[in-house]
């Protein structure tokens, strides 16, 4: 029997967490010979103008967007909705349709369903899904308890990345070349921070922690967002803007810093780990699925620049070779795209045969 035809739906064409997983999974299914398409609900000014993903309409819940989604779904056997913004669109657009949809929960639902009204609304949409994929067993348990989802509708499928795209630097020469290519200083430790410059990602904490570090430590922030104009970087801080491919920054850096107030299982931590880069991260969501304290990196409480500084000092002073090797081994065992994509194919077959 042929594999089901899949339509992946993302919010917009930006290269962010949910979108990256959707693109990688879509590309892997195509590589395996499965019919797969990817589309975005609406455009975004920060998206790459040359991005090939077609856009369905002017905004995520506009009637034209929803009708276009319903027509696109009619050509597929199953729709995969990536991220919270796609949940309502698919639940509404596919009402009464013969095409089932699977929702991928990327973030922490405790964060984005804080109010009772929002929990009720999101719960109603989740119950419309044929299945809900959680990126951590802890997330699956939260979804089951918070929204009373039956266990048979829940599946744990980790966030994932292709290991061959995020290989470690081969040696000092490749590391130096990566820094030169990004316009970064050749000397001194380099801390990388990658993400949206938005309130929940807390780039301000990265700047505050970095300001307390020795003068030879450099900080490179890659990303774009609403806080860009408010950031006041010092002379040792480098704002790189959005990177189409973050792999060179991982090869250039000595460790990764994550300062978020809310996360699921961040793709940047997986990418860095595959590149052999240890991490200092805030202990939010299910970050600890990737960062094992004292083994692959260090964790700190959220919103604590002093704790971040101390963790950075500790890791910068340590022999990071063992941390990096352990991080890569852990990521290969749990978050490699090849294994996760096989789990996705099994789920999609099950959903279309019900």
Please indicate, yes or no, whether residues 229 and 291 belong to a single structural domain of this protein.
yes
Please indicate, yes or no, whether residues 254 and 172 belong to a single structural domain of this protein.
yes
Please indicate, yes or no, whether residues 104 and 204 belong to a single structural domain of this protein.
no
Please indicate, yes or no, whether residues 312 and 185 belong to a single structural domain of this protein.
yes
CA 87, distance to chain mean position in Å, is 17
* pTM: predicted TM-score of the whole model, two decimal places: 0.93
CA-based nearest residue to 276, from 135, 175, 160 = 175
Q: Are strands 78-82 and 36-40 parallel, antiparallel or unpaired?
A: unpaired
Please indicate, yes or no, whether residues 179 and 320 belong to a single structural domain of this protein.
yes
Cα Rg, the chain, nearest whole Å: 20
The boundaries of the domain holding residue 68 are 6-160+336-353
Give dist(CA 196, CA 100) in Å, integer.
Answer: 31
The CATH number of whichever domain residue 95 belongs to comes to 3.40.50.2000
Residue 140 has pLDDT above 90, yes or no: yes
Please indicate, yes or no, whether residues 217 and 145 belong to a single structural domain of this protein.
no
For residue 268, what pLDDT is reported?
97
Please indicate, yes or no, whether residues 39 and 137 belong to a single structural domain of this protein.
yes
For residue 16, what pLDDT is reported?
84
Please indicate, yes or no, whether residues 97 and 113 belong to a single structural domain of this protein.
yes
SS3 letters across 131-178: EEEECCHHHHHHHHHHHCCCHHHEEECCCCECHHHCCCCCCHHHHHHH
Residue 112 has pLDDT above 80, yes or no: no
For range 175-191, the mean pLDDT: 97
For residue 84, what pLDDT is reported?
85
**How high is the mean pLDDT of the chain?**
95
For residue 184, what pLDDT is reported?
97
Please indicate, yes or no, whether residues 329 and 345 belong to a single structural domain of this protein.
no
Is there a domain that residue 84 lies in? yes
Residue 60 has pLDDT above 80, yes or no: yes
β-partners of residue 308 are none
Is there a domain that residue 201 lies in? yes
Split into its structural domains, the chain has a count of 2
Is there a domain that residue 314 lies in? yes
Buried b (16+ CB within 10 A) or exposed e, 112-136: ebeeeeebeebbebbebbbbbbbbb
Q: How confident is the model at residue 233 (pLDDT cuts 50, 70, 90)?
A: confident
Is there a domain that residue 328 lies in? yes
Please indicate, yes or no, whether residues 102 and 167 belong to a single structural domain of this protein.
no
Out of 113-117, 140-144, 196-200, 214-218, pick the least confident: 113-117
Q: Dihedral of the CA atoms 129, 342, 271, 35 (nearest 10)?
A: -70
Is there a domain that residue 215 lies in? yes
For range 71-89, the mean pLDDT: 96
Is there a domain that residue 61 lies in? yes
Is there a domain that residue 1 lies in? no
For range 7-24, the mean pLDDT: 93
Query: Phi and psi dihedrals of 75, rounded to 5?
Result: -90, 0
Please indicate, yes or no, whether residues 316 and 343 belong to a single structural domain of this protein.
no
Please indicate, yes or no, whether residues 152 and 221 belong to a single structural domain of this protein.
no
Is there a domain that residue 321 lies in? yes
């Amino acid at each position: 029997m042929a594999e089901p035809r899949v339509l992946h739906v993302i919010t917009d064409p930006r290269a962010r967490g949910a979108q990256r997983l959707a693109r990688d999974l879509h590309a892997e299914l195509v590589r395996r010979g499965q019919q797969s398409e990817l589309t975005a609900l609406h455009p975004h000014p920060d998206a790459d103008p040359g991005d090939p993903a077609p856009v369905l309409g002017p905004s995520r819940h506009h009637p034209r967007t929803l009708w276009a989604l319903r027509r696109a779904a009619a050509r597929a056997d199953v729709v995969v909705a990536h991220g919270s913004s796609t949940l309502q669109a698919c639940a509404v657009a596919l009402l009464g349709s013969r095409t089932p949809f699977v929702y991928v929960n990327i973030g922490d639902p405790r964060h984005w369903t804080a109010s009772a009204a929002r929990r009720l609304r999101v719960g109603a949409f989740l119950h419309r899904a044929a299945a809900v994929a959680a990126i951590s067993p802890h997330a699956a348990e939260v979804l089951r308890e918070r929204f009373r989802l039956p266990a048979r509708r829940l599946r744990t499928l980790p966030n994932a990345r292709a290991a061959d795209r995020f290989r470690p630097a081969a040696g000092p020469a490749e590391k130096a070349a990566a820094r030169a290519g990004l316009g970064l200083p050749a000397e001194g430790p380099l801390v990388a921070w990658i993400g949206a410059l938005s309130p929940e990602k807390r780039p301000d904490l990265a700047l505050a922690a970095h300001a307390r570090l020795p003068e030879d430590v450099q900080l490179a922030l890659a990303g774009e967002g609403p806080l860009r104009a408010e950031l006041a970087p010092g002379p040792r801080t480098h704002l790189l803007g959005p990177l189409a491919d973050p792999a060179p920054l991982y090869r250039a850096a000595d460790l990764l810093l994550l300062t978020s107030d809310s996360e699921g299982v961040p793709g940047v931590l997986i990418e860095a780990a595959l590149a052999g880069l240890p991490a200092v991260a805030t202990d939010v969501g299910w970050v600890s699925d990737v960062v094992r304290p004292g083994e692959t990196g260090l964790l700190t409480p959220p919103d604590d620049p002093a704790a971040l500084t101390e963790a950075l000092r500790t890791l910068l002073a340590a022999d990071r070779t063992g941390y990096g090797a352990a991080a890569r081994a852990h990521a290969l065992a749990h978050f490699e795209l090849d294994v996760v994509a096989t789990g996705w194919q099994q789920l999609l077959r099950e959903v279309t045969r019900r």
